[in-house]
Structure 1
Amino acid sequence: MIAMTDSIYWVGVNDRETHLFESMLPIPQGVSYNAYMIVDEKVALIDTVKADYNDTYLDKIKSVIGNRDVDYLVINHIEPDHSGCIKSVVEAYPDVKIVGNKKTANFLEGFYGVTENVLIVKESETLNLGKHELTFFMTPMLHWPETMMTYEGSNKTLFSGDAFGGFGALNGGVFDNEVNFSFYEDEMRRYYANIVGRYSDMVQRALNKLSNIEVQTICSTHGIVWRDNPKQVIDLYDKWSKQEGEDGVVIAYGSMYGNTKAIAEQLARAFAELGIKDIKVYDAARTHMSYILSDIWRYNTVLLGSSTYNSKMFPPMESLLSKMENSKLKNKNIGVFGTYSWSGESVDLLQKLTEQCKIQLFEPTIKNIFAPGSETVDNCKALAKNLVAAMK
């Protein structure tokens, strides 16, 4: 338990044990599940934590309120890493009212079989706790259909669900003015690119909806609490949701025997010779695609290369391309390259991404049979020159 004010508490937990978030995304630095509690004439919990940490969560609540009852449990987001303790809360506090919107109620019954003592709230409705009043804002598809945010007016605190969150367990520092943010920024962007990015249009709607509210503290369900400079994370979400990439290059490739890799190396050198310093080169078979996608989200220029494998793309590149398409990537300048020995479908398949995502493909397309030669070097330099000109 950590006191945020004299009546608002962080009652979250750190997960340093799970290897894969959502059974898919590596989290070598762990992740936090943030939950909060407001103690007033009425006691309100804001979200719970993953079921694995049920006992720790309940102990933190009791360490603050002792034998008092919990009156409300507000569910901003019912994904199980934030709702896993609902049944335990109901068992410990049988009279608790669970607060959510109409869509929350459907998930609540489906996941946990809970149908009683459910308080349905709508856009801008309020709930009075005494000195604290909660106002609810619907933010559907950020990033589930039922997601909403809860605003506490007296402390100007926004409980934002998964929005403004990130990977990384909290290493002692919980608040933004207690940590070196550069340690968390890459993991926050990776979280955004892989989980929230597909719903960037909904992020913009939410930012517009909240633009007239004075926010002094942002309390996400993952990552640090922003109380010193909440504008910093709002600006980052605005930038990422507009997909405003920095000048820089990501080169991602899949290569069986080194020929496609050789082209990737030649492209990297061509960009360096043109003065580009931020160049990230990834072998898609050796780097988890979540890290590659994070840098693709960061920079404005992307080179994608693949050898042809059984008339298709090299499988790790195929997975990356599928994730990029699903993420609704836009505002990127793209070049494609690849090699083959007897058929050459991989480059054609890479080109289709640009059509599906409506992103700009730059020439020349580099498609080599067998090993790259001197003509390939010239094409790499020409492609890099065209893409650098687009940056400027």
Structure 2
Amino acid sequence: MNIVKLTEKVYYVGAVDWNLRDFHGYTTPRGVTYNSYLIVDEKVCLIDTVKAPFAQELLERISQIIDPGKIDYVITNHIEPDHSSALPAVMARAPQAKVLLTEHGRTGIIKHYQQNYDFQVVKEGDVLDLGRNKLRFIPVPMLHWPDSMISYLTEDQLLFSNDAFGQHISTTKRFDDENDLSELIYEAEKYYANILQPFGKLVIKAVDKLKELPVKIIAPSHGVVWRSHIPAIVAKYQDWGAGKTVGKVVIAYDSMWGSTERMARQLLDGVASAGATGKLYKMSVAERSEVVRDMLEAGGVLIGSPTLNNGMLPTMGALTTYLKGLRPTSKIGAAFGAYGWGGGAQKAMEEMLGSSGIAMQPGLALKWVPDADEMEKCFNFGYEFAQKVLDRI
């Protein structure tokens, strides 16, 4: 097998899932990776495992370097099955190994796998002596589960960052400087927007903690390893965690007979005329997780739907429900759409968007098919909304 070294004694032993296209509702057109790392020092330490179907590949990669039976420690930074479900297979080969994790992690592993391994619960500041290197543990609860922690290898200045700084991208090249940086940042932004966005304040605290550590390599649980563009990805996390926005308006809509679509396109024209960047998505054909990625740095969000059964179309209901869970910050929003004999969609959208944390502005609703005057009204609405976005930057 191809042996990949991060440092002289740290190896990549994870797996690449080229075929996965859905990661619990998040589309992954480039596939995913399940990253696991092996430290061979006076003591042998495995950082996380992989998803269960790739357990044999993990063990084969370890076997190219050392007998898996010689593993002394398994660090479980996060118990979610994409990180931990190969743990039973690893422990079957290394039954004497200690499993180091947080208290929440211990409870979760027992519940997931009904096994009571030789657990060692670690806390903030605890250190594991491996010989030449020491491993320091930094719990980061709710980034993005209560059990989450990151681990820091002191001599190599290597940060095993768990889900932070990750991307869902399959590649045969394991390092950032071997890949297209723009693609990596795009996928890192999508990853953050769909997974870590609700925890922005905690992200800032975690990044502040990391400023105290000299870091030469960041090894996340998904995607490539950062070694050449660490300042760039850390700066992005600071901006995203702080809710920093740019002069961009995302218009997401669906349409029944075309009236709401005509409104959306006219709104977009007004946004562009004001000097803001506009993005337009029809949710019956757009990928929701891609739209959310575009919304991450957008200062404004316009959501449109005609009225169906006194409410919004199901595609828009799915989007607004998703946004409510992600709790985007530092954005203004408004709802728009056409209706027939009775409305209801606009109110429903405003309630959902407002509950997500978006600062709602008065919206725009039109009856039946917009005429020339109403189309001009849509243009002016888009223009004025974009001006508000630009004024907030």
- TM bucket by the smaller chain? over 0.9
1:1-392 aligned at under 5 Å gives the runs 1-22=3-24, 24-66=25-67, 69-169=70-170, 171-276=171-276, 278-363=277-362, 365-390=363-388, 391-392=390-391
C-alpha distance in 2 between matches for 1:381 and 1:138: 50
The alpha-carbon distance between structure 1 residues 67 and 376, as it changes in their structure 2 partners (threshold 3 A), is: closer
67 and 330 in structure 1: CA distance in 2 versus 1, 3 angstrom threshold: closer
Counterpart contact for 2:260–2:338, Cα < 8 Å: yes
Deviations 1:269-301 (A, max 9, x none): 12222333x321101111121111111113112
Tell me the number of residue pairs that the alignment of Structure 1 and Structure 2 aligns: 388
Q: Do the aligned partners of 2:325 and 2:356 also contact (CA within 8 Å) in 1?
A: no
Q: SS of the counterpart of 2:305?
A: strand
Distance 1:68 1:354, change over 3 A: closer
Distance (whole Å) between structure 1 residues aligned to residue 117 and residue 260 of structure 2:
60
CA–CA distance in 1 between the matches of 2:317 and 2:353?
Answer: 14
SS of the equivalent of 2:293 reads helix
- In 2, the alpha carbon distance for the partners of 1:370 and 1:211 equals 56
Shift of 1:68: 5.8
Counterpart AA for 1:350: M
Residues 266 and 382 of structure 2 are in contact (CA less than 8 Å); yes or no, is this contact kept in structure 1? no
Compare 80-89 and 348-357 and name the one that shifted more. Answer: 348-357
Deviation of the 1:332 alpha carbon: 0.8
Distance 1:270 1:2 in 2: 51
Contact 1:138–1:149 (8 Å) recurs in 2: yes
TM-score by length of 1: 0.96
| Equivalent-residue separation in structure 1 for 2:117 and 2:252 (angstroms) | 51
In the alignment, is the contact (CA less than 8 A) between 1:251 and 1:279 conserved in 2?
yes
Q: 1:355 to 1:275 in 2, by over 3 A?
A: closer
Secondary structure, aligned partner of 1:307: coil
Q: What SS class does the counterpart of residue 312 from structure 1 fall into?
A: coil
TM-score (norm 2): 0.95
CA RMSD of aligned residues (A): 1.4
| Superposed CA offset, 1:328-374 (max 9, x none) | 112112132111111111111222245323433334x2101101122
Aligned partner letter, 1:333: I
State whether residues 75 and 101 of structure 2, in contact with CA within 8 Å, keep that contact through their aligned partners in structure 1. yes
What is the rounded CA distance, in whole Å, between the counterparts of 1:18 and 1:90 in structure 2?
26
CA contact (8 A) 2:33 2:168 kept: yes
Paired AA for residue 334 in structure 2: G
Runs of 4+ in 1 over 4 A off after TM superposition: none
How much has 1:25 moved relative to structure 2? 2.0
Contact 1:149 1:160 in 2 (8 A): yes
Contact 1:305–1:338 (Cα < 8 Å) also in 2? yes
Q: Distance in 1 between matches of 2:324 and 2:372?
A: 33
Q: Check whether the contact 2:62–2:68 (CA below 8 A) recurs between aligned residues.
A: no
1:130 Cα offset (Å): 0.2
Question: What is the CA distance between 1:237 and its match in structure 2?
Answer: 1.1
Give, in angstroms, the shift of residue 167 of structure 1.
1.1
> Cα offset for 1:67?
6.6
2:183 aligned partner, one-letter code: F
Displacement of 1:378:
2.8
Post-superposition offset of 1:208: 2.1
Deviation at 1:204, TM superposition (A): 1.6
Which stretch shifts more, 237-246 or 54-63? 237-246
> What amino acid maps onto 1:345 in structure 2?
G
Bigger shift: residues 230-239 or 49-58: 230-239
In structure 1, runs of 5+ residues without a counterpart are none
The residue identity in structure 2 corresponding to 1:7 is K
1:223-282 alpha-carbon deviations (Å, 9 max, x no partner): 111111212111111111122122112110011111100000111112222333x32110
After TM superposition, give the deviation of residue 91 of structure 1 in Å: 0.5
CA–CA distance in 2 between the matches of 1:267 and 1:381?
5
Identity %, equivalent residues:
32
Mapped to 1, the partners of 2:207 and 2:140 lie a distance apart of 10
SS in structure 2 at match of 1:130:
coil
Structure 1 residue matching 2:115: 3-state secondary structure: coil
Give a deviation string over 1:100-140, Cα, whole Å, max 9, x none. 01111001100112213111111110000000100000100
Q: Distance in 2 between matches of 1:380 and 1:143?
A: 40
